[in-house]
Amino acid sequence: MLSMSAVFPWLDQAAYVPHALHSQERMWPETNCYVDLWIEVLASLGTHPQAMLGFTLTQDFEGDQFTFFKVPLEDIEALYGIRVTELAIFDNVENHIAVQIARGRLCIVEMDSFYMPDTQGVAYRAEHGKTTVAINRMDVEAKRLEYFHNGGYFRLEGDDFDGLFQHHLTETDPPFLPYTEFAKFPGRNASPDHLRSVADRLLRQHFARRPQENPIAAFAEVFPRQVEAVAERPFAFFHKYAFNTLRQVGANFELLASHLDWLAENGALKTEADAARAIAENAKSVQFQLARAVTRKKFEPLATALEPAVESWDKLMQGLERKLG
User: Which residue ranges make up each domain of the chain?
Assistant: 13-184, 192-324
Residue 317 to residue 212: CA distance in whole angstroms: 10
Domain boundaries 13-184, CATH class: alpha beta
Segment (H or E) for 154:
strand 152-157
What angle in degrees, to the nearest 10, is found between the helix axes of 192-208 and 73-80? Answer: 150
Distance from first CA to last CA of the chain, Å, rounded? 51
Residue 255 to residue 251: CA distance in whole angstroms: 6
Q: What is the mean pLDDT of each run of 10 residues along the chain (325 residues)?
A: 73 97 96 96 98 98 96 98 97 96 97 96 92 97 96 97 95 93 97 97 98 98 95 91 97 98 96 98 96 90 96 98 91
pLDDT of residue 4: 57
Residue 319 to residue 312: CA distance in whole angstroms: 10
pLDDT of residue 236: 85
Residue 142 to residue 311: CA distance in whole angstroms: 55
Rg, C-alpha atoms of the chain: 21
Residue 18 to residue 151: CA distance in whole angstroms: 7
| CA 173 centroid distance within chain | 32
